Amino acid sequence: MQPLNLKCVILLSPVFSVLTTNNTLCFQSLYQYNLHAIMTLLLISNMSFCPFFDFHKPVETAIFAMNSTHMRIDIITALPELLTGPLDHSIIKRAQQKGIVEIHIHNLRDYAFDKHKTIDDYPFSGGGGMVMMIEPIDRALADLKSRINYDEIIFTSPDGELFTQRMANQLSCTENIIILCGHYKGVDQRVRDHLVTREISIGDYVLTGGELAAAILADAIVRLLPGAISDEESALTDSFQDNLLAPPLYTRPKEYKGWKVPDILLSGNDKEIENWKMDQAIERTRLLRPDLLQE
């Protein structure tokens, strides 16, 4: 059977849109928002994360969907301590406690093959810096893959694809991913050529290791999972979700040191407030990130 673009599925039958295979959680969650939000997210996401719907097996697909109740992220690192803090607080901690996501951190040294737990060696090319060896990485990946099927094996690298909200949306619809953190001067090129499926950079600068990058990826992905944020709509109204920056926010007091909250926000007129928020979002994007409006 031909794969069906989910945009069409949603246009034809929004009810069926929740019955996708590994994208289910995502769409169950999105469906709670409203059709407009779903359409917006699909449009900005270029449909690339919602490929299949099996019209011939809706019941089976639904059962499969019900079963896939959480995401699993495995992180392979030479410095596990660097990850425990960032992943053990706030939304990402609660998501783990609620069983929405499982995050497993693996110490690469456990897969070293000598008694010194060596994971790096000198580069054949000479020059400074050590290189992470292929054997421990291959052993770690083989061990994980022998138990679970992974959708992506991501290597964090400054020369990878630039991480964006769109990519976070896509990855939040996968079930199992591995994130491999580099260290030292980098990894043996054969890891990149043969063992990983994707390389992601968090920005045009160089970090000491991939751990902080992995934490950023995990955070951005996990907060999109259904139930991770109690006010679910807020994940979809954040900056970048519709190629717009978020509008400004205000809370009490109405006036502080003579600095006032805009009158419109106190008017109680929901429609006008929505229009104001949209105008502000467009204006801020035009001023601060005009490139987004051209995408």
Residue ranges that bind ligand SAH, judged by CB under 6 A: 156-159, 181-183, 185-186, 201-203, 205-207, 209-210, 213
51 vs 158, beta carbon nearer ligand SAH: 158
Q: Residue 95 CB, nearest distance to ligand SAH (Å)? A: 23
Q: Residue 217 CB, nearest distance to ligand SAH (Å)? A: 9
Q: In whole angstroms, what is the distance from residue 172 CA to residue 45 CA? A: 12
26 vs 218, beta carbon nearer ligand SAH: 218
13 vs 189, beta carbon nearer ligand SAH: 189
Torsion of CA 120, 121, 123, 124, to 10 degrees: -140
Q: In whole angstroms, what is the distance from residue 186 CA to residue 132 CA? A: 6
- How crowded is residue 204: how many other Cβ atoms within 10 Å of its Cβ? 8
> In DSSP terms, which residues pair with 153 in a beta bridge?
178
144 vs 215, beta carbon nearer ligand SAH: 215
Q: Residue 246 CB, nearest distance to ligand SAH (Å)? A: 24
159 vs 233, beta carbon nearer ligand SAH: 159
Q: Which residues of 230-243 are buried (b: 16+ CB within 10 A; e: fewer)?
A: eeeeebbbebbbbb
Q: Is 188 exposed, middle or buried (0-12, 13-18, 19+ CB in 10 A)?
A: buried
Inter-CA distances, 66 with 7, 73, 90, 119, Å = 21, 19, 26, 40
Q: Residue 17 CB, nearest distance to ligand SAH (Å)? A: 34
Q: Which residue is nearest to ligand SAH (CB)?
A: 182
Q: Residue 268 CB, nearest distance to ligand SAH (Å)? A: 46
